[in-house]
Structure 1
Amino acid sequence: MRNFDLSPLYRSAIGFDRLINLIESGQNQSNGGYPPYNVELVDENKYRITIAVAGFAQSELDITAHDNLLIVRGAHAEEQTERKYLYQGIAERNFERKFQLAEHVVVRDARLENGLLYIDLERLVPEERKPRRIEILN
């Protein structure tokens, strides 16, 4: 029982459609876990996504952030010669990996080191959203 029918929630949960869509999209991940990645909590408001992109050049990677969605794509340039492998254990397929970002989370920077793509994120909560102390008047 891997799939759940969430349609009954649409009838009674008003304003939670985005959350339900997130749950449904999590069930429908079809990329089979490729490429492998880590999500790390660096600090209270800082995160790091590390994606194993061995075999991809920097020019073959594309990172896009739009509407609380981070999309990382890897596409190999077309090769002129076809290789004949005796054994192929290294995946060389193209990929697209999507990450849903919470409100106020922004991408700070990205770097490629030793076959690992590091994407640093930070939650920047506006001052009006932070808790503030209310003084009681006499």
Structure 2
Amino acid sequence: MNRFDFTPYRRNTVGFDRLFDMLENARGVTQGDNYPPFNIERTSETEYLVTIAVAGFKPDEIDITAQQNQLVVAGQKKVDGNDNRDFLHLGIANRNFERRFQLADHVFVRGADLADGLLIIHLERQVPEELKPRKILIGGTTPTIIEHSDEKKKGGKAA
């Protein structure tokens, strides 16, 4: 197993303990847990989509929980006692699942949709005003807030 020593990074950074712990804990994750398959897509500077293939699941069989910096999606198939079907081939997985996603700070779930066997979860990053970059004028008493998107539109220079 490849080992990567984070000690030099831990010595030179402050407040990234959670990130290093997450990277170290990810080493133990098995590669065989790929059900259900999913995509993570960035749709804009601040918006993301998590798409999970949940064929055969109904909306009431899926539970989405967002707590602190974690998103948990779980599917529990309801057992139907009246199901007397005789399958010749059963290729569609109907097993229960749980997917966990670590969310960055200030990333919130804005909604979820289920269509065509795909569960789409809308995420948005909202940085509070007090955490946005500020330009400090020399001799000024009030710092000026610089918007990230304004910087790019103005060619990297902010007023």
Structure 1 and Structure 2 fold alike (TM over 0.5):
yes
Q: Distance in 2 between matches of 1:28 and 1:84?
A: 40
After TM superposition, the runs of 4+ consecutive aligned structure 1 residues lying more than 4 A away are: none
Higher relative contact order (CA 8 A, sep 6+): 1
Q: Distance in 2 between matches of 1:23 and 1:45?
A: 23
Which residue pairs with 2:10 in the alignment? 13
Q: Distance in 2 between matches of 1:99 and 1:109?
A: 16
Q: How many angstroms does 1:16 deviate by?
A: 4.3
Q: Distance in 1 between matches of 2:65 and 2:23?
A: 22
Q: How does 1:80-119 map to 2 (within 5 A)?
A: 80=81, 81=83, 83-119=85-121
Deviations 1:62-111 (A, max 9, x none): 00001210000000001214654322211110000000000000000001
Q: Which runs of 5+ in 1 are unaligned?
A: none
Q: Distance in 2 between matches of 1:29 and 1:95?
A: 16
Deviations 1:5-52 (A, max 9, x none): x7x657x83654422331244333356210000000010010000000
Pick the structure with greater CA Rg.
2
Which residue pairs with 1:27 in the alignment? 27
Which residue pairs with 2:127 in the alignment? 125
TM-score (norm 1): 0.84
1:36 is matched by which residue type in structure 2?
Answer: P
Q: Which runs of 5+ in 2 are unaligned?
A: 141-159
Comparing 30-39 and 14-23, the one that deviates more: 14-23
Q: Is 2:48 the partner of 1:51?
A: no
Identical counterparts, % of pairs: 50
Comparing 85-94 and 15-24, the one that deviates more: 15-24
Counting matched residue pairs gives 135
